[in-house]
């Protein structure tokens, strides 16, 4: 299969004050090109059901995903990541309430469950089943490097505790469960916030490794789809809007409370009439996420002309409210009829499982979970696997650094990474990658 070069679907942009919130290395990745008849793209996204939807969820995930679902040639998958919720939340009432609120939010925002796949993760038993199959091809070292796990380690070390103190294995396995969510439906694109890019890269790694080990194109390799400028919204305190920072603005606040919340966003102490820099302002960053290009340009000028913070916040409130008010009404009606939402999710799960079941059947056969009635694997199957053609490392220049790729005999790119200071370091890393691809140690 021919491979096209993409950059993760992520465009470089001018660094702003908020760029560091989303800092991540840009790795070169390679996306499979699809034959003409398979051009239908699959877009999949999930939201963890631990909290109340906030403006950041809306701007970063719900809105772009719903917009994408209206494009011709797109099949959309939306789901409630309730298994992921259990990693961080042991309050059952909260998981249930959040599931209801998030489902109602997507429906209120224009999701058409007839046209898309809309389901709850825990209604698809093929997902945990795939999680285990993937777990057994995932390098433990890959999971050691996951940002969320490492952050938890670092926090423990800072407190002088054991690195793994209080960390459940669910947090550690989180990237594998997420890979299963994506790979079970062979999704091409995953709209997520920048903080999730590493998880998508891991899903690619894990899918690639399974394909390689079991010698087939079982999985499509997904790409992160980041909507530029709006993907991470600053919260009340200027840091990324996130449940974990406790700085969110809930999506469905009644009008009056929404206005109050927006007036409470922190700003600097510049006086009214002082010219202000929109690129340093969280008010402007949020405004831009809701406004058209023209409206944003007008707001830019207002900043240069020294609009006062109070006025800027009022304009921000009006812009947000104009977008949310009609949906807020639908949301309130939906929340009052949880049974209807349950029915929609049930239909969605049935539809989704029709896709998941044949794939799981193929995967079970691929790994050897087979009926004993079937003729057992011939010696030639084993021999073919042992004779798998050698991998080849290639080092090349990438901008002002060096990069490597690992090719198989058909020149498929199995792994690639950039940012090395010299060719020797790139080659050493290529050999490491090849080593871990071919000799994952298995427990006996
Ligand atoms: N980890 C995602 C988040 O916290 C939620 C999620 C779970 C997800 N599985 C997914 C997102 C699969 C996209 C695709 O935002």
Q: What is the DSSP string of 127-194?
A: HHHHHHHHHTTS-HHHHHT-HHHHHHHHHHHHTTS-TTTT--HHHHHHHHHHHHHHHTTT-SEEE--G
Cα 182 from chain centre:
9
Which atom of ligand 1 is nearest to 48's Cα? 5
Among 160, 138, 141, CA closest to 208: 138
Residue 299 has pLDDT above 80, yes or no: yes
Contact between 135 and 174 under an 8 Å Cβ cutoff? The reply is no
Average pLDDT, the chain: 87
For residue 84, the ligand 1 atom closest to its alpha carbon is 7
Do 84 and 128 contact (CB within 8 A), yes or no? no
Report the CATH number of the 252-335 domain: 1.10.240.10
pLDDT above 50: residue 244: yes
- What tokens appear for 313 in the block? 């916040």
Q: Measured at the alpha carbon of residue 139, what is the angle toward residues 134 and 145, in degrees to the nearest 5?
A: 115
Phi, psi of 216 (to 5 degrees): -160, 165
Question: How sure is the predictor about 441, in pLDDT bands with cuts at 50, 70 and 90?
Answer: low
The finding on whether 84 has its CB within 6 A of some atom of ligand 1 is yes
> Per-residue pLDDT tens for 92-129?
999 999 999 999 999 999 999 999 999 999 999 999 99
CA-based angle 11:17:23, to the nearest 5? 50
Our mutation pick for probing the ligand 1 site, out of 22, 121, 178, 227, counting the most ligand atoms within 8 A of Cβ, is: 178
Res 8: pLDDT? 42
The answer to whether domain 3-233+337-385 and domain 252-335 are alike in fold is no
> Two tokens at 50?
């631990």
Helix (H) or strand (E) holding 32: strand 29-32
CB of 46 closer than 6 A to ligand 1?
A: yes
Beta carbons within 10 angstroms of residue 396's beta carbon? 13
Assessment of whether the complete model's pTM goes beyond 0.85: no
Q: Are 131 and 92 in contact (CB under 8 A)?
A: no
pLDDT in tens, 45-100: 898 999 999 999 898 888 888 888 888 899 999 999 999 999 999 999 999 999 99
Whether 174 has a pLDDT exceeding 60, the answer reads yes
Q: How far is ligand 1, taken at its centre, from the CA of residue 86, in Å?
A: 13
If residue 263 lies in a helix (H) or strand (E), which one and from where to where?
helix 255-263
Q: Name residue, tokens 């709209």.
A: 191
What confidence category does residue 6 fall into, taking pLDDT thresholds of 50, 70 and 90? very low
Angstrom distance (rounded) from CA 127 to CA 184: 7
Give residue 386's pLDDT.
Answer: 59
d(CA 136, CA 443) in angstroms, rounded, equals: 10
Pocket test for ligand 1, best of 45, 79, 128 (most atoms within 8 A of CB): 45
Check pLDDT > 70 for residue 377: no
- Compute the average pLDDT of residues 301-325: 97
Task: Identify the CA nearest to 123 among candidates 143, 94, 103, 101.
Answer: 103
Name the residue ranges covered by the structural domains of the chain. 3-233+337-385, 252-335, 389-438
Q: Which position has the higher pLDDT, 15 or 161?
A: 161
Predicted pLDDT of residue 227: 62
Per DSSP, 391 falls in state: P
| Mean pLDDT on 417-423 | 91
pLDDT higher for 12 or 262? 262
CA distance readout (Å), 240 to 190, 197, 296, 319, 406:
20, 15, 20, 20, 36
Q: Is a pLDDT exceeding 70 seen at residue 9?
A: no
Binned at pLDDT 50, 70 and 90, residue 391 comes out as confident
Least confident of 35-44, 248-257, 425-434: 35-44
Average pLDDT over residues 269-284: 94
For ligand 1, whether the C-beta of 188 sits within 6 Å is no
The finding on whether 50 has its CB within 6 A of some atom of ligand 1 is no
Mean pLDDT of the 424-437 span: 83
Is residue 443's pLDDT more than 70?
A: no
Q: Is the pLDDT of residue 154 over 80?
A: yes
Q: 3-state DSSP call for residue 270?
A: coil
Q: Tell me the pLDDT band of 231, cut-offs 50, 70 and 90.
A: low
Tell me which of 9, 47, 173, 197 to substitute to probe ligand 1's pocket, judged by most ligand atoms within 8 Å of the beta carbon.
Answer: 47
Taking only Cα atoms into account, the Rg of the chain, rounded to an integer number of angstroms, comes to 24
Instruction: Please check the confidence at residue 20 and state whether its pLDDT lies above 60.
Output: no
Q: Ligand 1 centre and the CA of 277: distance in Å?
A: 34
- What distance in Å separates the CA atoms of residue 308 and residue 300, rounded to the nearest whole number? 13
Distance CA 357, CA 349 (A): 12
Residue 71: CB atoms within 10 A of its CB come to 10
Looking at residue 229, its pLDDT comes to 53
User: How many CA atoms lie within 13 Å of 23's alpha carbon, on the beta-carbon side?
Assistant: 6
Number of Cβ atoms within 10 Å of the Cβ of 328 = 18
Q: 442 or 326: which carries more pLDDT confidence?
A: 326
Q: Which CATH number fits domain 3-233+337-385: 3.30.450.20, 3.40.50.620, 3.40.50.1820, 3.90.1150.140?
A: 3.40.50.620
Query: For position 30, what pLDDT does the model report?
Result: 31
With 90 as the cut, is the pLDDT of residue 416 above it?
Answer: no
Query: Across residues 32-48, what is the average pLDDT?
Result: 69
d(CA 18, CA 34): 35
**Residue 89 exposure: Cα atoms within 13 Å on the Cβ side:** 20
pLDDT band at 7 (very low <50, low <70, confident <90, very high): very low
Give me the sign of the Cα torsion angle 223, 188, 34, 146.
Answer: positive
| CA gap 406, 434 in Å, rounded | 7
């Amino acid at each position: 299969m021919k491979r096209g070069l993409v950059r993760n679907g992520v465009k470089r942009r001018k660094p702003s004050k908020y760029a560091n919130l989303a800092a991540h290395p840009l790795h070169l990745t390679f996306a499979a090109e699809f034959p003409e008849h398979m051009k239908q793209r699959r877009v999949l996204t999930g939201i963890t059901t631990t909290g109340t939807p906030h403006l950041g969820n809306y701007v970063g995930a719900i809105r772009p995903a719903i917009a994408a679902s209206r494009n011709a040639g797109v099949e959309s998958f939306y789901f409630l990541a309730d298994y992921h919720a259990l990693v961080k939340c042991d309050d059952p009432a909260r998981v249930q309430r959040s599931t209801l609120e998030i489902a109602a939010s997507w429906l209120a925002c224009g999701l058409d469950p007839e046209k898309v796949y809309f389901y709850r993760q825990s209604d698809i038993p093929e997902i945990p089943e795939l999680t285990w199959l993937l777990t057994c091809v995932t390098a433990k070292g890959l999971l050691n490097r996951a940002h969320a796990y490492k952050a938890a380690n670092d926090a423990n070390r800072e407190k002088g505790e054991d690195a793994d103190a209080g960390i459940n294995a669910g947090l550690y396995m989180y990237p594998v469960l997420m890979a299963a969510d994506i790979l079970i439906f062979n999704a091409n694109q995953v709209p997520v916030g920048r903080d999730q890019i590493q998880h998508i890269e891991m899903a690619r790694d894990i899918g690639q490794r399974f394909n390689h080990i079991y010698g087939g194109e079982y999985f499509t390799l997904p790409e992160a789809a980041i909507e530029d400028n709006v993907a991470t919204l600053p919260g009340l305190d200027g840091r990324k809007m996130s449940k974990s920072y406790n700085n969110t603005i809930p999506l469905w606040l009644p009008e009056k409370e929404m206005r109050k919340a927006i007036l409470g966003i922190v700003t600097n102490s510049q006086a009214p009439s002082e010219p202000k820099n929109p690129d340093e302002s969280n008010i402007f960053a949020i405004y831009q996420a809701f406004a058209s290009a023209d409206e944003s340009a007008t707001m830019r000028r207002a900043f240069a002309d020294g609009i006062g913070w109070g006025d800027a916040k009022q304009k921000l409130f009006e812009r947000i409210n104009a977008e949310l008010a009609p949906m807020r009404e639908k949301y309130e009606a939906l929340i009052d009829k949880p049974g209807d939402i349950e029915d929609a999710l049930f239909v969605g799960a049935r539809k989704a499982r029709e896709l998941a079941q044949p794939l799981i059947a193929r995967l079970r056969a691929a790994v050897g979970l087979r009926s004993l009635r079937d003729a057992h694997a011939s010696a030639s199957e084993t021999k073919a696997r042992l004779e798998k053609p050698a991998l080849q490392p290639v080092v090349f220049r990438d901008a002002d650094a060096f990069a490597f790729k690992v090719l198989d005999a058909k020149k498929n790119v199995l792994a690639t990474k950039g940012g090395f200071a010299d060719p020797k370091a790139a080659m050493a890393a290529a050999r490491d990658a090849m080593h871990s691809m071919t000799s994952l140690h298995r427990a006996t």
